[in-house]
Structure 1
Amino acid sequence: MSLAEYFPEQIRELPAYEGKFDAFKLNAESCDVLFGIYPGGTVIEPHSHDTDNVGVITKGVLLLTMDGETQRIEAGEWYFVPAGKQHAAEFPEDTADIELWIRR
């Protein structure tokens, strides 16, 4: 199965997220849900969001850097990035996740 086919058809039919990575996006009033797909080797430079971001890795590995410390997050593990917090991400292998972008 290719990474693009990782999520079920119902998820793949959601609108595509238009941003720095590939994802399917479910919009809601106070929270967006993104089903992200990151090919191995993807690097996302330091940035911040105006939302709290909570996510779970469903396949692969996320290397999440905040405050100069890098945390390895593997399949089945959750992560949290507070609104306004500078962070960077690296995906050393094909990775998929489910992210909640919670508006305050």
Structure 2
Amino acid sequence: MKKILFPSKIQQLEPFSSRFDAFRLAAEGCDVLFAMYPAGTEVEPHDHDTDNYGIITRGRLYLTIDGQEHEYGPGDWYHVKKHQMHSARFVEDTEEIEFWFEEN
């Protein structure tokens, strides 16, 4: 079983599961997701109705936008605009904090 490095208080938040597993913190105008991606996870091309920002806390994210792949590691921030098609892959266990901002 994979060790989760998020603090126990974070692990007590509402579970979230879709293309990935996370702990969800709902805020006004934004959902904050503490996301976990096991090694080998691939997320197919998709888009969101939200403006998304994220920071990698462990592992590596390979994010493809407009046909170009970008690599993000611990401490790196990324941004995916609302309705921007993108895909992702994770070659090692990865954790990140994602901010999904609703349109004002």
Normalised by the shorter chain, which TM-score bucket? over 0.9
**Cα distance in 2 for residues equivalent to 1:21 and 1:80:** 18
Runs of at least 4 residues of structure 1 off by over 2 A? Answer: none
Counterpart of 2:61, as a letter, is: L
Counterpart of 1:102, as a letter, is: F
Show the counterpart of 2:17.
Answer: 18
**Cα distance in 1 for residues equivalent to 2:2 and 2:88:** 22
Counterpart of 2:30, as a letter, is: C
**Cα distance in 1 for residues equivalent to 2:17 and 2:87:** 19
**Cα distance in 1 for residues equivalent to 2:85 and 2:57:** 23
Show the counterpart of 2:83.
Answer: 84
Over the aligned positions, Cα root-mean-square deviation in angstroms equals 1.2
Give the CA deviation at 1:18: 2.8
**Cα distance in 2 for residues equivalent to 1:2 and 1:59:** 13
Show the counterpart of 1:56.
Answer: 55
**Cα distance in 1 for residues equivalent to 2:56 and 2:67:** 21
Give the CA deviation at 1:9: 0.6
**Cα distance in 1 for residues equivalent to 2:73 and 2:93:** 12
Matched, 1:75 2:74: yes
Counterpart of 2:58, as a letter, is: K
Show the counterpart of 1:30.
Answer: 29
Show the counterpart of 2:99.
Answer: 100
**Count of aligned positions:** 103
- SS of the counterpart of 2:14? coil
